[in-house]
Structure 1
């Protein structure tokens, strides 16, 4: 009798559980940022819009969380505190390999589908190629930057050059090595090279062409000595723990947004002009980035 009662009650309980609405959750968008106030205002409208559109899947709201460096973002995603990330390839590679993140889409950021890393010097400098930087200094922008740290460093190492970090601009370059320091901003990067505080600098071609970041008065006295191949401008990723149905719905939502249908929202989202599917070579690129940077 007892077994018969259980056989009737269990299906009823299962039916009740399945009929309950999905547990509400906040969708969290994360990024590495040194300008939290500005970046928060850029990201907030998009995650709030996505949360509203995905409410039928149990999303009750959207939030933005910003981190000073990629290691903090990796740890937060591991702890399940971040669901969705918009980042460049270097941080994306770390998130994939260290936090199990899944690439969702490519992002056209600031109107660019892809971009290049450039290395430059003063127009009157004796430096004309990468090998001339042995015994000289170079200013990278930030340790989490793909185009202004990972990429130029990789290019220099592929030339057989060894790099050494500097604590300040007052340090002397070490003979035979490329000594590097972080400028933290694009403006500092250009100024340091222009004032010969650093023999060379590294930026992406979008920053190089942006007059608010490299004023024309400075750029006219500078000269590019190396331009890399093109790489994805930015990627959207989701955490390993994000429900597959929610990740799929987010992907479809972003792909449906165009400058014609969502101009203002996309413009606020780091001047995005659209999204496109991940390409077959993108995972290999992220693998290569991660493997080559592990010894740094």
Structure 2
């Protein structure tokens, strides 16, 4: 009995010893593998460093970080972000140097009511939008208009007044007692420009019915859809830009006729807050003026890839019409 127990004990001891030895072997192999991989990695990195030189210093806490903020207005924020975020990023990248890294930011407001405050509080550096809204904001905030944008490659546009082909309306005077479809209160071509044009002609506009005035409504839709309000009989007249009218299919155009048009105004204008640093402003101006000559801009998802100086005549024309809106 004692011999069997002793034999069993020796057998178990040998098995435990073997198992322990195997575990140590596995540990040693694992350590050797890790050391080998680490050595291989650092050898590759050393060779790469020798080939390419030291890795350039990345922007970090030692560099000054600033933000350049571009503001605009639209009921369709996602669409505007798609257009203006690449612009803000482009300006930021061109402003950045070894000492300062700029980040591009975009603010899209649904209405222009908050833009004045954002400019005065230095939360917005540039305001880019249609000419009438930018001009109205500049009057309140002191922002200064300085550039014109060629949106979709077009520097200017105007508004058209269209009616159904079978309408009895022949001249703007026939608008009295009828209903006019505008887009939104912030739209230049879809409201402010055509409204100022009619007021300049001596017509009264009201949101109430009356034979001595033109009743107007807001569709709150994309401008190209305004003509449907006329075709479907929801309004007698529609105001829209010549660019949107030109994009209508021929069959749709054949259902309409143009009664009148406004003057040409810039497609897009850029203003800056009045207290911006002059040296920073000059850099931004040169960046925007040189955009259309930069091959990098071609691949950017922006509708406006060219900017030039806005003329005094263009600003004066806008100013004269805005006076009718006061």
TM-score (norm 2): 0.75
Contact 1:97 1:290 in 2 (8 A): no
Q: Residue 289 of structure 1: CA displacement?
A: 3.9
1:63 lines up with 2:105 in the alignment:
yes
Contact 2:200 2:321 in 1 (8 A): no
Which residue, 105, 119, 138 being the options, matches 1:96?
A: 138
Contact 2:180 2:215 in 1 (8 A): yes
Secondary structure of 2:117 counterpart: helix
Whole-Å Cα distance in 2 between the matches of residues 259 and 116 of structure 1?
27
Quick one: higher RCO (CA 8 Å, sep 6+), 1 or 2? Answer: 1
How does 1:1-296 map onto structure 2 within 5 Å? 24-56=65-97, 58-165=100-207, 173-185=209-221, 186-211=223-248, 215-258=249-292, 261=295, 262-265=297-300, 268-269=301-302, 271-294=303-326
| Superposition RMSD in Å | 1.9
Secondary structure of 1:112 counterpart: coil
Secondary structure of 1:293 counterpart: coil
Instruction: Report the counterpart of residue 14 of structure 1 in structure 2.
Output: none
Contact 1:122 1:199 in 2 (8 A): yes
Structure 1 spans left out of the alignment, 5+ residues: 1-20, 167-172
Contact 1:93 1:289 in 2 (8 A): no
Contact 1:140 1:201 in 2 (8 A): yes
User: Aligned pair in 2 of structure 1 residues 159, 283: CA closer, same or farther (>3 Å)?
Assistant: closer
The 4+ residue runs of structure 1 with deviation greater than 6 A are none
Instruction: Report the counterpart of residue 18 of structure 1 in structure 2.
Output: none
Secondary structure of 1:196 counterpart: coil
User: Aligned pair in 2 of structure 1 residues 228, 136: CA closer, same or farther (>3 Å)?
Assistant: same
Would you tell me which structure has more helix in proportion to its own residues? 2
Whole-Å Cα distance in 1 between the matches of residues 294 and 64 of structure 2?
34
Which structure has the greater CA radius of gyration?
2
Deviations 1:214-257 (A, max 9, x none): x4332220110012221111111111122111111011011111
Contact 2:143 2:272 in 1 (8 A): yes
Q: Residue 62 of structure 1: CA displacement?
A: 0.8
User: Aligned pair in 2 of structure 1 residues 118, 59: CA closer, same or farther (>3 Å)?
Assistant: farther
Structure 2 spans left out of the alignment, 5+ residues: 1-61
Q: Residue 142 of structure 1: CA displacement?
A: 1.3
Deviations 1:103-149 (A, max 9, x none): 22111111211001100100000001100010000001111111121
Secondary structure of 1:292 counterpart: coil
Whole-Å Cα distance in 1 between the matches of residues 201 and 316 of structure 2?
22
Whole-Å Cα distance in 1 between the matches of residues 287 and 146 of structure 2?
12
Whole-Å Cα distance in 1 between the matches of residues 265 and 171 of structure 2?
22
Q: Residue 290 of structure 1: CA displacement?
A: 3.7
